[in-house]
Amino acid sequence: MSGPLVPDVAVAHSVATVARDGGRDEVAVEEPLEIRVDDRPLVVTMRTPGHDEELALGFLHGEGLIDAPRAAGPTADLAANTVVVDGPLLRDPGARSFFTTSSCGVCGKGALEEVAVHAPALPTGGPRVSRALLAALPDRLRQPGFRRTGGMHATGLFDADGRLLLLREDVGRHNAMDKVIGRALLDGLLPLHDHLLCVSGRLSFELVQKAAVAGAPVLVGVGAPTSLAVALAADRGMTLCGFARGDAVAVYADPGRVVD
């Protein structure tokens, strides 16, 4: 399985140099990506280039549109910033096109029921993890893009012992999550019932949704959760932890997997 111990050539394409105060600075690249299914445009997302096939597959999985690996790659004419995924989809996404941004994920969805993709309730078992280990996960995220630019979010996939298996970075926190889940889908790791997910920022409803659809029993974030994130985690039986830093972590939902 690919992982953070292997040099990530995508980082070289995710950083740009710009002018700043008479000098030069490195910033994260942000460009649009169109995801097509067969010949049908489905979504445009603003993302950091790299691991685009994983991003496309992770997005479609999180929306409940695929449940198994699919072939994904460039168009026949190698059009820039476009990924084509083989169909068919599990359900009709409807006539409304998605548009996502790097900051907030899928926007313009007018009702909660449009956002909530059905995910089975998580098994009551799964890993039991010490509070100290959960608090330590953010420090175990290896973030070469963030170190260079200060402008990327990260999602890390860990085993139950806290070993980092996979990390992806992106200007969008939801994109970083999609890239990890897309890679896990390709590697046959879904559902993630024996794994932990950790994100470098706040915990939004959408991140909890994606983690729940992927079957992750534990989601940890450096920042605060939103009210909908807590409600969805509690409803699906997910252990949700925020403000993980140093030796402290706050548990907001399903504390039964946390061992003090």
**CATH number for position 218:** 3.40.140.10
Taking residue 27's Cβ as centre, other Cβ atoms within 10 Å add up to: 16
Give the mean pLDDT of 88-102. 69
pLDDT at 145 over 50: yes
Instruction: Record the pTM.
Output: 0.89
- Cα separation, 122 vs 258, in Å, equals 15
pLDDT at 110 over 70: no
Residue 83: give the domain boundaries. Answer: 31-115
Catalytic residue chosen out of the listed positions 104, 107, 198, 241:
104
Q: What is the mean pLDDT of the chain?
A: 87
Q: Looking at the domain assignment, is residue 145 inside a domain?
A: yes
**Neighbouring residues of 7: CB distance < 8 A, sequence distance ≥ 6:** none
pLDDT at 107 over 80: no
Same domain for 59 and 174: no
pLDDT at 223 over 90: yes
Q: What is the pLDDT of residue 2?
A: 37
Q: Looking at the domain assignment, is residue 47 inside a domain?
A: yes
Same domain for 95 and 62: yes
Lowest average pLDDT, out of 97-106, 193-202, 230-239, goes to 97-106
Q: Looking at the domain assignment, is residue 203 inside a domain?
A: yes
Same domain for 177 and 59: no
pLDDT at 186 over 90: yes
**Count of domains in the chain?**
2
Same domain for 195 and 248: yes
Q: What is the pLDDT of residue 1?
A: 37
- Cα separation, 209 vs 213, in Å, equals 6
* Residues of the chain above pLDDT 90, percent: 66
Taking residue 223's Cβ as centre, other Cβ atoms within 10 Å add up to: 16
Highest mean pLDDT among 13-27, 97-111, 243-257: 243-257
Q: Are 206 and 174 in contact (CB under 8 A)?
A: yes
Last residue of a domain, one of 115, 140, 165: 115
Q: Looking at the domain assignment, is residue 190 inside a domain?
A: yes
pLDDT top residue among 155 and 17: 155
Tell me the pLDDT band of 116, cut-offs 50, 70 and 90.
Answer: low
Last residue of a domain, one of 64, 91, 115: 115
Packing angle, helices 205-213 and 173-186, rounded to 10 = 0
Residue pLDDT, tens place only, 43-93: 999 999 999 999 999 999 998 899 999 999 998 888 889 999 999 999 888
Instruction: Identify whether 241 is a catalytic site residue.
Output: no
Q: What is the pLDDT of residue 104?
A: 57
